[in-house]
Amino acid sequence: MTAYLLHHIQLYNLEKRFYFETNQVHDLEIMIKYVWDMLEAQIVNDEYVESGIKDFSTGEVEFNISEKEPLLTIVLRARALSGRVNDVKVIYDQNEKKVISWQQQ
């Protein structure tokens, strides 16, 4: 009986950690998408875009932009408060006004 209870406690803890990790990844992806949408709107409107950091209640997104006409390379690094990190590299063609590449790193 004790082994059965211990097994279920372990399963419960494993499931709890899984949901915690999944929520963190989801939060990071939402932050990255929000910052990307903000940057893309500025780029499409031919506004000046510079590197920076956007703070959220669940973490932050640092974005670095480099330009080689007509391409923009934008690296987005999302950090959760717990320290989990998610990086995305976006290659954007300014002439065509579209994303050429979106790479999770």
In order, the DSSP letters of 15-79 are: HHHHHHHHHHHHHHHHHHHHHHHHHHHHHHTT-----EEEEETTEEEEEEEEEETTEEEEEEEEE
Residue 3: DSSP 8-state: H
pLDDT over 70 for what percent of the chain? Answer: 100
**Residues making up the chain, counted from first to last:** 105
**Does residue 74 register a pLDDT over 90?**
yes
pLDDT digit string, tens, across residues 4-52: 888 889 999 999 999 999 999 999 999 999 999 999 999 888 888 889 9
> pLDDT value at position 3?
86
